[in-house]
Structure 1
């Protein structure tokens, strides 16, 4: 290929579109013909032709002029494009295809999809949390215990991962009850503990403090090595 041909190819330009449009057009109630027609309108627009005719659009596609006309009408009815008045450089009015409605719909779809995914993740975390508690307690949770779990999440806004960390702390400390876990969460929230790493560090600090306060005589009399744990109810 000659240098002249390459320069001509570069001058044709490139069409940049969001990946979201290619992956989600089906969920946005678009079919393949409608999508390609939209891309053709965008391409014409970027090359200075803001109102390509059905004939011009059809010449780039495998559908007829009448099909292009019908699809354009459907896209306008579905709110993906609209016809507006534009101005030429000398002030003459002319019609243009406005693509902004497409981008607005794409943004709305993206935000809604993210919100729905976040809801699903949150529901899964909550389900996993109840399952985790029932496994540790070895029985179904009582209505009161279920209500306590819901209050920790909804009223106190504790992250499910933090609640699981408090459960593990209670299990390790041998004090598996909701009052003890509630006290742990209260202390963590009071001290600004919001991540698993902060919770581990905070618990380690108190356990180290207790370990340092043990007398040498007590340590020598231990028959088995044990790790002291912080009693959160005595805070």
Structure 2
């Protein structure tokens, strides 16, 4: 290998390492503009500045591209939430507030916010996406949240509520907020403002969830 090739090697290796993300960025833009069904792999390749064959080197199908987009955007959020939820002892309202505010902050990134929009649009026509999302996000997060709620009930922080139904009450307003804007075009004045929604939601949620002071059995250190 001559000196020029040596100089070019790391640059080209870095370029190759970046290509999957370049493909995903191009696909995300096209899925938002045209929809999943109307976007062809050729379109993704052209937007990414690659050949169609190069796209297939990284992703075997258009469906695999969509799954990779969800993994890139959503799975790290689930991982962060699980790290916060894992074996937490004490007032669960603190953790619920932290997780929802973290979710609102992450969704302020348009590339991440685009993913729940795409899921709403495409999940009925692409059931494998729903299965993947359930496996990698829902089935991991729900048991951790249920455990948090049960501990909060046992320790007297929360009322005697159904943990499974309570999860729907916790996350439901955020999903509905995005769905109303994406599916029905009902956008609050000034935009989604997920941070304001979370503040409003937590105020209502905690007033309903909190046990009366006399019910608290012990204080976590």
Bin for the TM-score computed over the shorter chain? under 0.3
Which protein is richer in strand relative to its size?
1
Q: TM-score, normalised by structure 2?
A: 0.27
Structure with the greater alpha carbon radius of gyration: 1
Indicate the structure whose relative CO is greater, using CA pairs within 8 Å and at least 6 residues apart: 2
